[in-house]
């Protein structure tokens, strides 16, 4: 949902501020957020490569439709454009900034989701446990324990509750300290997902970085056209 909102915000910004790009921007933006989603789900892609691929597509589109390079289309030019944006610094510091922010936030989200999936597997496994007959009888006897009845002023039953539960759960009871450590670790991870580690904060600001990157390219139009022309003639 966050990635979908981020994609829509970026497309809305491009349509409003750079209408000359037309619908060609949809593919580049859509691929950026699709690749980001797949990375969160565990793909082997590198975030830096995802961002670099996006700016390669964006530069080819911007060169033809914003930077005055439409009349320079010739055989092999697009191949030249794919790497020219990086060598010419077409988008200034913004691609690197996007790489840094996305790398941190997407990795944190990826680890968090992996941890949640692990917890789901554990819950699903223990959820299918069924108490035996002796365990059922022991659980019924717990009703005679004042502590279990919520009467803290009464004398506790000296570990009776814990003994019954250990007997019912058997070896599963040994999972408890590990589960507690897992829950605490998950809480620590969630608490750390702030600022540049918070995928929502980062993704919902990506459109601002794209805007700044395109404005940087526009202000460097003459230099970029010269660099591309020189590279293409070599």
Domain coordinates in residue numbering, the chain: 2-113+196-233, 128-191
Helices (H), the chain: 2-17, 24-40, 47-65, 77-87, 94-127, 133-141, 160-169, 175-192, 199-203, 206-219, 221-233
Structure tokens at 195: 């600022």
* Residue 173 CA: distances (Å) to CA of 139, 152, 170, 176, 178: 15, 25, 6, 6, 10
34-78 pLDDT per residue, tens = 999 999 999 999 999 999 999 999 998 998 888 876 544 444 566
The three-state secondary structure class of 152 is coil
- Per-residue pLDDT, 122: 81
Q: Please, which residues have CB within 8 angstroms of residue 42's CB and are 6 or more apart in sequence?
A: 110, 114
Per the CB < 8 A criterion, the answer to whether 39 and 106 are in contact is yes
Mean pLDDT by 10 residues, the chain (234 residues): 96 95 92 97 95 93 79 56 80 96 95 92 75 77 68 69 75 76 89 90 96 94 80 57
- Per-residue pLDDT, 172: 66
Per the CB < 8 A criterion, the answer to whether 173 and 166 are in contact is yes
């Amino acid at each position: 949902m966050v990635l979908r909102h981020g994609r829509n915000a970026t497309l809305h910004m491009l349509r409003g501020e750079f209408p000359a790009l037309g619908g060609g921007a949809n593919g580049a933006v859509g691929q950026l957020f699709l690749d980001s989603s797949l990375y969160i789900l565990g793909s082997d892609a590198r975030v830096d490569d995802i961002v670099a691929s996006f700016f390669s597509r964006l530069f080819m589109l911007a060169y033809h439709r914003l930077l005055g390079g439409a009349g320079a289309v010739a055989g092999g030019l697009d191949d030249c454009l794919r790497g020219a944006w990086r060598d010419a610094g077409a988008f200034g510091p913004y691609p690197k900034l996007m790489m840094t922010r996305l790398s941190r936030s997407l990795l944190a989200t990826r680890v968090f989701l992996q941890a949640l999936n692990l917890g789901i597997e554990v819950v699903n496994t223990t959820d299918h446990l069924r108490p035996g007959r002796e365990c059922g009888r022991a659980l019924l006897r717990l009703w005679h324990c004042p502590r279990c009845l919520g009467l803290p002023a009464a004398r506790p039953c000296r570990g009776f509750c814990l003994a019954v539960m250990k007997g019912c759960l058997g070896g599963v009871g040994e999972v408890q300290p590990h589960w507690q450590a897992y829950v605490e670790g998950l809480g620590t991870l969630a608490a750390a997902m702030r600022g540049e580690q918070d995928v929502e904060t980062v993704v919902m600001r990506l459109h601002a970085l794209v805007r700044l990157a395109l404005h940087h390219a526009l202000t460097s139009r003459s230099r970029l056209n010269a660099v591309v022309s020189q590279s293409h003639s070599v």
